[in-house]
Structure 1
């Protein structure tokens, strides 16, 4: 019997990606909360697993050759788990490329742009002193809107972004579900709205979004957490 995978997690979009995948694929796991507002991500034991001091990360005790393997970066985790289980990550090369295109679209587009929109619209105005930067707010709000338009067109006549439900949907959904924090009008994107509801109805997704719910700190108004999250440089 395989040992549980160790999941290092905090309830953020990227954290939810790994949790959803584990639950969807039926893989047992032990949950380790990494409170990013308190700086748990900078602890030496975590940096050995995730040198970029970001969640999520996993350690699979039953890795290749039966030896433990740590995996950091949420996209790499999804690909690893998909290969390990053969679920939600097709083996056919054409189908796999399609899934990977949309996975990378999330990693390089929706994630970073939505993250910046969230920062300048919610976190920066709550700083001391407040940082209200209209250019940055408009820049990232508009770019997120453009990306939502791309996704809406992609989902026209489709239930999922790349064939069947896949790690691409698992990657994108946790970011787009926060459309309100990104100040998007979801009524402009009816295909995206229907897709959000479709994914949200899945039991594994519902279970994932409950993880760590009680432990999450009061961001964006926690001043100490802001220093930890946004005050780090190369020498920190």
Structure 2
């Protein structure tokens, strides 16, 4: 007879969000089962959800403990929590130096590359079908190319951002997938970034996050 015990985690998510996909990947890396709860970020701001994510942002992760619920919101915080919570997982920090490196890159990906990609894709959508690029779009693309160049040089000397696989790479995985939506970016110009992306896509956790991958 199958156990009726509920998974110890509930993930409140919007599947189209790369930040939610990153948490799915992290949970798979930790070998953790969870209950997915799809949330419309506009329509589903219920009091119960806002208790778990005060600003109504996704993702939010809830651990169901005997002492009560533990809620964590914002993807960098969730990733950090999982790395500390599951010390034997590939996400755990081996020492203070690796932790510092992973958190530094995680911060850049969240507020740097992540925000920039969102701006680029929004601007690209506004000018879809037009031969004209806005001045803002040109500036965004120049900055994106600069960031990819920095990443490419950094990855020329290591397999992953912090040396070993870390939560920074977990967040990078779905962000790199967004580059497929930008015809202006040819990743062959950044061979080390391209190889890194293939390594990330080759991990079993990627297939757990994207069952059709």
Asked whether the two chains share a fold, i.e. TM above 0.5, the reply is: yes
Partner of 2:145: 145
TM-score by length of structure 1 reads 0.79
* SS of structure 1 residue aligned to 2:37: strand
Rounded Cα–Cα distance in structure 1 between residues aligned with 2:24 and 2:196: 19
1:1-236 mapped onto 2 (5 Å cutoff): 3-11=7-15, 12-36=17-41, 39-62=42-65, 66-86=67-87, 87=89, 88-122=91-125, 124-125=126-127, 134-182=134-182, 183-210=184-211
Distance 2:124 2:150 in 1: 22
For 1:106 and 1:133, the matched residues in 2 are separated by: 25
Is the 1:41–1:55 Cα contact (8 Å) retained in structure 2? no
Q: Which runs of 5+ in 2 are unaligned?
A: none
Number of aligned residue pairs: give it. Answer: 203
Deviation, 1:49, is 1.3
Question: Secondary structure of the residue that 2:61 maps to in structure 1?
Answer: strand
Residue 220 (structure 1) aligns with: none
Classify the secondary structure of the residue corresponding to 1:20. Answer: helix
Q: Structure 2: how far apart are the matches of 1:31 and 1:209?
A: 14
Q: Using the TM superposition, give the Cα deviation of residue 210 of structure 1 relative to its aligned residue in structure 2, in angstroms.
A: 3.5
Q: Which runs of 5+ in 1 are unaligned?
A: 214-236
Contact 2:152-2:193 at 8 Å conserved across structures: yes
In the alignment, is the contact (CA less than 8 A) between 1:120 and 1:133 conserved in 2? no
RMSD: 2.2
What is the SS of the residue equivalent to 1:51?
A: coil
CA contact (8 A) 2:7 2:35 kept: no
- What TM-score results when the alignment is normalised by the length of structure 2? 0.87
Deviations 1:60-111 (A, max 9, x none): 113xx84321111000000001110013131411111011111111112111
Query: Following TM superposition, by how much is the alpha carbon of 1:160 offset from its aligned partner in structure 2, in angstroms?
Result: 0.8
Pair 150,35 (structure 1): closer, same or farther in 2 beyond 3 Å: same
